[in-house]
Chain A
Amino acid sequence: MTTSNATLAGAIKTVLEQASLGLQVFRTLAPPKARMPFCVVTEDVSWVALPDGDTDASDEMTVQEQVQVDIYQQLRTAEGTRTEVIGLEDIVCFLLRNTRLPTWVNHVYGVQILARSAGPASVGEVNVRRTIVTLQIDRLFANRT
C-alpha cells in the first residue's frame, strides 16, 4: 500500500503507518471488511482563517483546521482471545501530538490534540472500542504551485 502526503489525511496516514503498529489508516470511511485495529481520518471538520494583520491582506494566510481521527479496536476474538493492543490510543496521540506532518501541500506549524473520548463503536457493540481524537492543525494556506 502506498502512502501519500498530498492531503492532511495522507500525512497522518504516513505518520501512523510508518510507526509499524500494524494499524491501517483510511480516509473518511473504512472498507466494510477492514481488519482491526484501524484508524479513520475525517478531514475538514472545521476550517477557520486566523485573523492576521489589520485587514487579513498579508501574503500568507494561516488556517486552523480540525481533523478527527477514529481508532477502532477489537477487544477479543470470537474464541475469547484478547486482541486489544493496550495503550494503542496513547501511542497514536503521542505520535500525532506536536508533530510536523510531512505534507508537501501546505506547511504545518503544529498539531494540537483538542479532545479524546472513548466508547463502544456503535449502540450495543461491546467488543469494538472506538476512540475519537480531535486534532487542531495550524497550517499555511497557499496555492498549489
Chain B
Amino acid sequence: MPSLTRSRAEVEDVVAGSTSIEFVNYPAWRAAINDALDQWVHQSEDNAHDLGKLAVTEGRTRAPVRTGRLRRGIDYEVHEGENGWELRFFNEVPYAVFQEFGTRHVPAHPHMRPGMAAAVNQYTRLMLRGMK
C-alpha cells in the first residue's frame, strides 16, 4: 500500500521540480563571457564615440535646413562621469530648441530626438549582430 505521507526530500522535489540545467563546457563559457565584458568596459569610451557619431549623422539627416547653421550646430562630446563614460548629444545653435520642440505658434520639427533614437536602434542592431 502506498504511503500517504511524503518525506521532506520528496516534497522539495515536487515543489522545485526535477529539472536540472547542465552547463556544457562551463569554465570556457564563463571565461569567454568575462573576456567579452572586460573588453566591453575597456572599449566603452570608443563605443560612446561610435554612438555619438551615429547620432550626429542621423540628427543632421533630419535637421530642417534653410542656411545650414542648425545642421552644422549638431555635435556630441564624451566625458567620464560618475557612472562611467557619458555621451552628451547637443546642438549649440540657440534657436535649436524652438525647432526641436516647436513654439506656441510654430509646429515642432524634431530632429535631435529622432536622430538619437535612430542611432540607438542602429547601435543595438550592430551589438546584436556582433553577439550572434
Contacts and interface: CB of A to CB of B under 8 A. Distances in A.
Interface stretch (B9-17, B20-28, B39-47, B118-126): B118-126
Residue among A28, A29, A50 with the highest chain B CB neighbour number at 10 A:
A29
A130 interface: yes
A122 B130 CA distance: 46
A45 B108 contact: yes
Interface string A29-41: 1101000000010
Contact of A51 (B103, B108, B113, B124): B124
Interface of A: 28-30, 32, 40, 42, 45-51, 54, 64, 66, 68, 70, 72, 121-122, 128, 130, 132, 134
15 contacts: A29-B107, A42-B110, A45-B108, A46-B118, A47-B114, A48-B117, A50-B121, A51-B125, A54-B132, A66-B114, A68-B101, A68-B108, A70-B102, A128-B104, A130-B104
Interface of B: 101-105, 107-108, 110, 113-114, 116-118, 120-121, 124-125, 128, 132
